[in-house]
Amino acid sequence: MFPAGPTAKSTLTEALKFGFHCSIAGGLVKALERARALECDTLQFFTRNPRGWRFTPLDSSLGVTFLERAEELNLSPLVVHMPYLPNLASPDPDLYRKSVDSLMVEMERCKLLGVDYLVTHVGKAKAVGREEAMERVARALRMALELEGPVILLENTAGQGSELGASLGELGEIIALVDGDPRLGVCIDTAHAFQAGYPIHTSDGLEVFLEELDKEVGLGRLKLLHLNDSKTPLGSRVDRHWHIGEGHMGLEGFRSIISHPFLRGLPAIMETPYSPSWDKKNMERVRELDQMSGYI
């Protein structure tokens, strides 16, 4: 195991905090109730329709109600995912403006709700160079970070098409372009890392991945895991999530991830295909793997 350097987080011994991405159908507070019914410690949700640009402003009183209920249900941290349509790397001026506006709006909504982390995909370069695209992403992030609100987490991608952020080096470069702002971190999606070609389903592969993460980004910036199996093989660059242990990563892969001392204590959100029966199975599986790790 590699030693903890100055950018590495301390080795933790507490259990991971497991949760799901929960639907907001019926209202934002309903997402909290769904999370508790699934025996979650934490949750992720959208604050609005993720497939559209329009949204209804949030009433200020909702923030108090939402946060109070989250505290009653002992759900923490609270994580929001950006909608699907924004592309912070877009070379199209209109789409870029709408994307930046969407990020700024989401920061305000997260602040009102008392959200801890806002997860965003980095974006797609389209027909322009990746360096130019990353500059646009950095510009958008700098504007958003001028606002009060949550820590922004850049999510690694599977590398489909012109997606940015499949390599840890690109995530690190974007963070450097934002001058290493302390309110900027990363969310590592296990399926995306595997699909991008990182063999994190093996103990050795996971160790190499974390060493690279520490070098390029800093383990201290790793704030969240998206715990997903992959329906597509290693290096496929095709983003398809699957149930824990049922995909190409396998249960042994998740045993290594869940038991790794540098990942202990992190929130771990599952974004597996929605199914009431499979949600229950997925939670049972990660809890069992957590208990087998010997930390609790």
DSSP β-bridge partners for residue 154: 120, 186
Identify the residue whose tokens are 């370069």. Answer: 125
Question: Strands 241-242, 229-230: parallel, antiparallel or unpaired by DSSP?
Answer: antiparallel
By the 8 A CB rule, do 188 and 218 touch? no
What's this model's pTM, rounded to 2 decimal places?
Answer: 0.94
Each of the 296 residues of the chain gets a pLDDT tens digit; together they read 443 333 444 445 588 999 999 999 999 999 999 999 999 999 999 999 999 999 999 999 999 999 999 999 999 999 999 999 999 999 999 999 999 999 999 999 999 999 999 999 999 999 889 999 999 999 999 999 999 999 999 999 999 999 999 999 999 999 999 999 999 999 999 999 999 999 999 999 999 999 999 999 999 999 999 999 999 999 999 999 999 999 999 999 999 999 999 999 999 999 999 999 999 999 999 999 999 876 54
Catalytic positions: 51, 81, 84, 121, 155, 189, 192, 226, 239, 241, 271
Residue 61 is encoded by which pair of tokens?
Answer: 């009183």
- Over the stretch 185-241, which tens digit does the pLDDT of each residue have? 999 999 999 999 999 999 999 999 999 999 999 999 999 999 999 999 999 999 999
By the 8 A CB rule, do 216 and 146 touch? no
Superfamily name with CATH number, domain 17-292: Divalent-metal-dependent TIM barrel enzymes (3.20.20.150)
